[in-house]
């Protein structure tokens, strides 16, 4: 089967890694991969199902892609979280899809396509052998993701992940180290999982720091960024490893989700307002210059105006470097779906806007301290629209935080530059090149 393949990958960076493995299977079979969808004879749509909005986006992507059948498109493969969880209702309804695969079915991509060409539509969800093909990296060349575990053994009352991805299971250290070594020269390796800090615990002992030490010992890995660290699992050992290991970027993504203890308990979270503030105080004391990003949910069932105001006050006290906010999504098959006191959508959206407003002022204050200073910036590419280069300082994660836009006679993607900051808009920084760093 010598076909041209394209891919649309939706959702989180963990899902992106799954998509890269599917592309690896395509490459292993000697087929061409294109980023021009109009050239694709087979189009893989890697879906997300975390929220209703994500499910709608995934279905719309399939429907819109069906229009390419007027050109060379022959088959649409629907894969990922959406068919994994909802295949029973999805397969008979979404007739635009020719082949359906789950999250661990990369090995069945080509057998299912062969069947589809002979027999018609194929449901191959759950038939794969769980193999992990070598990946085709889809990010900028100097940055790669490494998914260290899948699934989740937490039971947050609003979340579908355990019912989509199953129980938490860590990938073996030796396989992860070999995968990282095979990624080639990497300026920034980003570690992801539903909860990176629980790595290895399902086998009886936490091995996250051991994994960090083995990954940072690789010569091709220059820096490591850690995402998705649950607050109660940040141990003294991990703090010391981040502080003392020069290859680990002084940045943590800690999804607090809320600040008020009553809401956190309803969410199935283990933290409290006091424990979160104490953790932030300790981290900043132990790790010089640490940047912290977090996510928060607005409008969880029974959240009062007073609790929303308290969350706003928490943000002002915590002064986090980066934050994301989203409205609670009422998901069937979760405990929170049945909770009393569901908050109207207009109120949830209003609270999200207010949270962003509070954080905007905090971010502006945080970023203004860099005006007139010189930062080390990793160049990610060119912003043609604004006629400048775009990169990131250590406190900015790829595609989820702000960036540094800077002017220079020339700059190379993947290179480091000393950039003098001229101004900020409260989200991005703007500056000019001082010198190139080797």
The count of C-alpha atoms lying within 13 angstroms of the C-alpha of 332, restricted to the half-sphere facing its C-beta, is 4
Q: Domain spanning 374-437: which superfamily?
A: Nucleic acid-binding proteins (2.40.50.140)
- Which of the four pLDDT bands, split at 50, 70 and 90, describes residue 129? confident
Per residue in 150-175, pLDDT (tens digit) is 999 888 999 988 888 989 999 999 99
Q: Is the pLDDT of residue 210 over 70?
A: yes
Q: Which of 119-123, 153-157, 359-363 has the lowest mean pLDDT?
A: 153-157
- For residue 371, the SS3 value is coil
Give the residue range(s) of CATH 3.80.30.20 domains in the chain.
143-368
Residue-wise burial string across 44-81, b where 16 or more C-beta atoms lie within 10 A, e elsewhere:
bbbbbbbbeebbeebbebbeebbebeeeebbbbbbbbb
Q: What is the sign of the dihedral through the CA atoms of 361, 362, 363 and 364?
A: positive
| Predicted model pTM | 0.93
pLDDT (average), residues 48-58? 91
The angle at the Cα of 350, spanning 345 to 354, to the nearest 5 degrees, equals: 150
Per the CB < 8 A criterion, the answer to whether 15 and 48 are in contact is: yes
**pLDDT score recorded for residue 350:** 98
**pLDDT score recorded for residue 438:** 59
Q: Which helix (H) or strand (E) holds 376?
A: strand 374-383
DSSP-H helix ranges across 66-207: 81-93, 109-119, 161-165, 173-181
pLDDT (average), residues 182-186? 94
User: Class assignment of domain 4-123?
Assistant: alpha beta
Give the residue range(s) of CATH 3.40.50.12160 domains in the chain.
4-123
Structure tokens at 336: 């929170």
In the chain, % of residues over pLDDT 70: 100
Residue tagged 């969800």 (tokens)? 125
For residues 252 and 228, what is the distance between their CA atoms, to the nearest angstrom? 8
For residues 158 and 161, what is the distance between their CA atoms, to the nearest angstrom? 9
Per residue in 15-40, pLDDT (tens digit) is 999 999 999 999 999 999 999 999 99
DSSP-H helix ranges across 29-129: 52-65, 81-93, 109-119
Residue tagged 């190139």 (tokens)? 436
In the chain, % of residues over pLDDT 90: 90
Give the residue range(s) of CATH 2.40.50.140 domains in the chain.
374-437
Per residue in 264-320, pLDDT (tens digit) is 999 999 999 999 999 999 999 999 999 999 999 999 999 999 999 999 999 999 999
The beta-strand segments (E) located in 169-290 are: 169-170, 188-192, 224-226, 248-253
According to CATH, the topology of domain 143-368 is pyruvate-formate lyase- activating enzyme (3.80.30)
Per residue in 230-254, pLDDT (tens digit) is 999 999 999 999 999 999 999 999 9
């Amino acid at each position: 089967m010598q076909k041209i393949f394209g891919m649309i990958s939706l959702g989180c960076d963990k899902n992106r890694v799954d998509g890269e493995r599917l592309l690896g299977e395509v490459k292993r079979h000697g087929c061409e991969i294109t980023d021009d969808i109009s050239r694709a004879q087979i189009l893989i749509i890697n879906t997300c199902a975390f929220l209703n909005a994500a499910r709608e986006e995934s279905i719309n992507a399939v429907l819109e892609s069906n229009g390419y059948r007027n050109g060379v498109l022959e088959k649409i493969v629907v894969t990922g979280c959406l068919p994994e969880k909802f295949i029973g209702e999805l397969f008979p309804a979404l007739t635009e899809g020719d082949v359906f695969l789950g999250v661990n079915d990369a090995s069945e991509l080509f057998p299912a396509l062969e069947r589809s060409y002979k027999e018609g539509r194929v449901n191959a969800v759950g038939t794969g052998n769980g193999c992990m093909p070598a990946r085709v990296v889809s990010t900028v060349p100097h940055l790669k993701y490494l998914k260290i575990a899948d699934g989740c053994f937490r039971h947050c009352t609003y979340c579908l992940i355990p019912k989509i991805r199953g129980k938490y299971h860590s990938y073996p250290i030796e396989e992860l180290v070999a995968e990282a070594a095979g990624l080639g020269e990497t300026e920034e390796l980003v570690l992801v999982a539903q909860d990176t800090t629980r790595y290895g615990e399902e086998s009886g002992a936490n091995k996250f720091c051991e994994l960090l030490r083995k990954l940072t010992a690789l010569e091709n890995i220059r820096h490591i960024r850690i995402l998705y660290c649950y607050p109660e699992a940040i141990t003294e050992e991990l703090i010391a490893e981040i502080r003392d290991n020069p290859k680990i970027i002084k940045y943590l993504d800690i999804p607090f989700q809320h600040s008020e203890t009553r809401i956190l308990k309803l969410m199935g979270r283990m933290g409290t307002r006091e424990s979160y503030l104490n953790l932030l105080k300790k981290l900043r004391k132990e790790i010089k210059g640490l940047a912290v990003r977090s996510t928060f949910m607005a409008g969880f069932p029974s959240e009062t105006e007073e609790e929303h105001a308290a969350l706003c006050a928490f943000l002002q006290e915590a002064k986090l470097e980066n934050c994301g906010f989203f409205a609670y999504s009422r998901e069937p098959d979760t405990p929170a779906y049945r909770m009393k006191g569901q908050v109207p959508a207009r109120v949830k959206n209003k609270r999200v806007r207010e949270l962003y407003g509070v954080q905007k002022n905090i971010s502006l204050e945080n970023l203004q301290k860099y005006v007139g200073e010189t930062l080390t910036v990793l160049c990610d590419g060119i912003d043609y629209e604004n006629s400048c280069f775009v990169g990131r300082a250590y406190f900015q994660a790829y595609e989820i935080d702000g960036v540094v836009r800077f002017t220079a006679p020339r700059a190379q993607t993947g290179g480091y530059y000393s950039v003098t900051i001229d101004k900020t808009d409260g989200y991005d920084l703007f500056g000019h090149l001082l010198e190139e760093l080797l």
